[in-house]
Amino acid sequence: MMKRETMDRPDRSTRRRFLALTGGAAVVGAVPIVAAQPAAATPAMMAAAMRDVTGAAVVRTGKVKLDVPPLVENGNTVPMTVSVTSPMTAEDHVKSIHVFVEKNPQPNVGNFVLGPRAGRAQVSTRIRLADSQKVVAIAKLSDGSCWSASVDVVVTLAACTEEVI
């Protein structure tokens, strides 16, 4: 019971240290396996990353449309489109679009800076998802307001943390 051969994370040094630390005191079946997992972003980290972008502004839901497939087979390349309802004039336009995720190792995905010359507030790219999780897009408008949209995505094959052969 002390040896856990089935652990899927290849982080051997951590595991060894972990076993050395807990080995003597290990109670059968009560060892928390999660302790050896690599650090993943938490919803709190995502909230902190979002605050860095929005500052004190209140983030309201609406205006933003986030297109991500709700079920993806391969988390290594997930098509994503963010569009914002905006006239895109000099007085009223989208200044930037920011995308965040909850459970990747890092909460930030991308920051996209636009301007009134864009004509249409829409950005497409392909992202990586390390787990089934919530994806959030925030748009910052020229009047300082922030709008958001979120989608829950189910991922069958995760990205980022797999072993390199």
Partner 1 sequence: MAAALINVPKKAKRGDVIEIKTLMSHIMETGFRHTATGELVPRDIITSFSCRYNGEEIFRADLFPAISANPFIAFFTTASESGSFEFSWIGDRGFSESASASIIVE
**Binder of partner 1 out of 42, 85, 125, 156 (CB under 8 A):** 125
d(CA 102, CA 155): 13
Does position 95 interact with partner 1 (CB under 8 A)? The reply is no
- Residue whose token pair is 């991308």: 110
Q: How far apart are the first and last CA of the chain?
A: 29
Interaction residues for partner 1, span 26-55 (CB under 8 A): 38
For 30, 36, 141, the CA distances from 95, given in Å and listed in that order, are 51, 41, 5
Which C-beta is closer to partner 1: that of 12 or that of 60? 12
The helix or strand, by DSSP H or E, that contains position 71, with its residue range, turns out to be strand 71-74
Cα 147 to chain centroid distance, Å, stands at: 18
**Binder of partner 1 out of 31, 36, 101, 141 (CB under 8 A):** 101
Which C-beta is closer to partner 1: that of 109 or that of 149? 109
In the complex, the smallest distance separating the C-beta of residue 27 from partner 1, rounded to whole angstroms, is 27
**Binder of partner 1 out of 112, 142, 145, 151 (CB under 8 A):** 112
Interaction residues for partner 1, span 137-156 (CB under 8 A): none
